């Protein structure tokens, strides 16, 4: 398979399993991408991520542009060598930070975005060309087109402008220089407006990309509406290219994505929960600061094979958390990542074996 080729190996309903060939090896889909915003997945070493089954990591253009700088990363051999990760890497374009850090932006126009750095208050301007050049220097396997994500509650006029601007920026992103073997994904916007989503998809497909992302969701709308819009958008995208939902990482949520034909997804949720003292478990999220776990001899999740569950009790991990020992946060982070990565691997196997519907129902997913 050549770089950029995507082969669907199995289907079960809308769910599918496939292989995307990247410059750093094949990516078996569906795949969850742990988030390494600043060239590290917080509290976890690259080899530990490999041991957990992670195939691909996500880095962030906005943050790496400021610290340590794309030129420095390129000088030191690119992002893979810099962070000692030899598998595929996807980089976000920085477009989401225009949304999440919108209080720092004072000008958004057809040319780009002017804003203040969250690090030192200095003024900067991001354009599609700059965002793509930073990703070229980083040398990621998949670079995301620069886009404008909106809140769920924007006016129709604001949403239409964002869709138009995303299409304009998509063409400029596609035409920019790339690193050798670098793929570029376009992003469909439109929030929960069906007509604008249909328009956005048509315009992004006309530009033409190696893969397509479902953007502008999981930004404040209700979960049922998000799932409805995901199904609607996925049906607009070509079956022969990978589909990426930006920003979902809870166990039920990722199964819902797979059920709708999504191939890739990312989220900070598993690592953020770990750093704040919580674990993903079959019965829900466990707050290990709770005194109820002080004498609990059970692992975080029965049957879990992660390093935390294989050796330690809830009581011990709670002790580490309340004593502010770093090992406790590491154990929870590793467990949460294992929970999501292993779930996706089992979902992929279920698709390949033609039993995904049963698997999804057992996970509490609603399906399409």
* Residue positions annotated with a catalytic role: 92, 266
For residue 79, give both structure tokens: 């992002």
Cα of 270 vs its chain's centroid, Å: 11
C-alpha 304 chain-centroid distance: 24
Q: Compute the distance between CA of residue 131 and CA of residue 142 in angstroms, rounded to an integer.
A: 13
Characterize 290-313 residue by residue with b for buried, 16 or more Cβ atoms within 10 angstroms of its Cβ, and e for exposed: eeebeebeebbbeebebbbbeebb
CA distance 55 to 48: 12
Contacts of 243 (CB under 8 A, 6+ apart): 211, 212, 213, 214, 234, 237, 261, 262, 263, 264
Could you tell me if residue 209 is left (phi over 0), alpha (psi between -120 and 50 degrees) or otherwise beta? beta
**Residue appearing with tokens 């060598």:** 81
**331 within 8 A of 308, measured Cβ to Cβ:** yes
Per the structure block, which two tokens stand in for 208? 């033409």
Plot region of 181 (φ>0 → left; ψ -120 to 50 → alpha; else → beta): left
Q: For residue 256, report the phi and psi dihedrals to the nearest 5 degrees.
A: -60, -40
Tokens linked to 282:
């079959």
Sheet strand arrangement including 25-29: 6-12, 15-22, 25-29
3-state SS, one letter per residue, for 132-159: HHHHHHHCCCEEECCCCCCCCCCCHHHH
Contact 317, 332 (CB under 8 A): yes
């Amino acid at each position: 398979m050549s770089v950029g080729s995507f082969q669907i190996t199995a289907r079960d309903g809308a769910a599918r399993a496939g292989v995307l060939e990247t410059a750093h090896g094949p990516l078996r889909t569906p795949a969850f991408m742990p988030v390494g915003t600043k060239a590290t997945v917080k509290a976890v070493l690259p080899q530990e991520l490999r041991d957990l089954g992670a195939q691909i990591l996500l880095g962030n253009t906005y943050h790496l542009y400021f610290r340590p700088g794309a030129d420095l990363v390129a000088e030191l051999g690119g992002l893979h060598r810099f962070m000692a990760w030899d598998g595929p890497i996807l980089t976000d374009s920085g477009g989401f930070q225009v949304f999440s850090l919108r209080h720092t932006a004072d000008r958004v126009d057809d040319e780009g975005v002017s804003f203040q750095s969250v690090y030192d208050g200095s003024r900067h301007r991001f354009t599609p060309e700059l965002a793509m050049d930073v990703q070229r220097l980083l040398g990621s396997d998949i670079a995301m087109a620069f886009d404008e994500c909106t809140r769920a509650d924007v006016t129709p006029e604001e949403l239409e402008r964002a869709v138009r601007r995303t299409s304009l920026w998509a063409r400029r992103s596609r035409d920019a220089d790339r690193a050798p073997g670098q793929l570029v994904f376009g992003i469909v916007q439109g929030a929960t407006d069906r007509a604008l989503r249909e328009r956005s998809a048509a315009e992004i497909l006309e530009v033409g990309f190696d893969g397509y992302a479902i953007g502008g969701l999981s930004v404040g709308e209700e979960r049922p509406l998000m799932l409805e819009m995901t199904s609607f958008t996925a049906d607009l995208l070509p079956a022969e290219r990978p589909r990426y939902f930006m920003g979902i990482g809870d166990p039920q949520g990722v199964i819902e994505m797979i059920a709708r034909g999504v191939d890739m997804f990312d989220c900070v949720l598993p690592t953020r929960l770990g750093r704040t003292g919580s674990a993903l478990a079959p019965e829900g999220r466990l707050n290990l600061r709770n005194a109820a776990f002080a004498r609990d001899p059970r692992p975080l999740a029965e049957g879990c094979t992660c390093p935390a569950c294989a050796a330690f009790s809830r009581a011990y991990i709670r002790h580490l958390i309340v004593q502010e020992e770093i090992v406790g946060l590491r154990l929870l982070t590793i467990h949460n990542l294992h929970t999501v990565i292993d779930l996706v691997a089992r979902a992929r196997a279920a698709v390949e074996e033609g039993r995904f519907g049963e698997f999804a129902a057992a996970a509490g997913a609603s399906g399409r």
